[in-house]
Amino acid sequence: MCIEKRIARFPLPASRQSGISLIELVMFIVITGIALAGILLVMSRVTASSADPLIRKQALAIAESLLEEVELMPFTFCDPNDANAASAVSVADCANSQDVITGPAPGTETRGSATDPFDNVADYSNYSMAPIADITGTTIAGLGSYAASVAIRRAGSALLAAADDGTALRITVTVTGPGNTQVVLDGYRARYAPRALP
């Protein structure tokens, strides 16, 4: 009797839960699985397209280099090798006028030539190269799947509001890389020193 009274007076504490229930475990697995699937999906997409920026950056570097090369060339009335190059007052005074923007003038000039290289902006008109080569004509290793082209148009009246449309040229460089990656850059060159020789 004594024991019964003691139990009634001092009831045993309610037992505390230890561990997790089956429902909590299933919910944890489902939530963790969804989060992990989302992370793996993002990582998969990032990895799959991680080469694209490299190809685009390389194409951009090629385009910038070629555009700068063209813009740094003289833009004169005559070809620098022309006898009247230093004294010409207009393109009419030249045997090899640089007002013709359909290709090199004279036609014997080539970009990589050691004896007769491009020496004027207009020489680059309609120029293309595949694979990519440096200014001496040496093919650059690793750039065999890239191609570049240059287009030149008159832009004097639009850019400078000039009466002579040939006073400025718009240079467009297009580089195509693997996977049809294409980069197009435009630049302008004005004829500010028509008789300057290199």
Residues 164 and 67 in one domain: yes
What are the structure tokens assigned to 15, written together? 């037992």
| Residue ranges, the chain, pLDDT below 50 | 1
pTM equals 0.70
Q: Do 66 and 158 reside in the same domain of the chain?
A: yes
24 and 95 in a common domain: no
| Torsion of Cα atoms, 118 then 121 then 124 then 130, to 10° | 80
Q: How far apart are the C-alpha atoms of 118 and 128, rounded to whole Å?
A: 13
Q: Find residue 176's DSSP bridge partners.
A: 147, 182
Spatial contact of 96 and 78, defined as CB atoms under 8 Å apart: yes
How many domains does the chain fold into? 2
- For 88-138, what is each residue's pLDDT tens digit? 888 888 887 777 677 777 778 888 888 888 888 888 989 999 999 998 888
Type of residue numbered 6: R
**Domain span including residue 25:** 20-49
Q: What is the pLDDT of residue 198?
A: 67
Tell me whether residue 2 is in a domain. Answer: no
Which token pair is 35?
């989060």
Distance CA 75, CA 154 (A): 12
Beta bridge mates, 152: 171
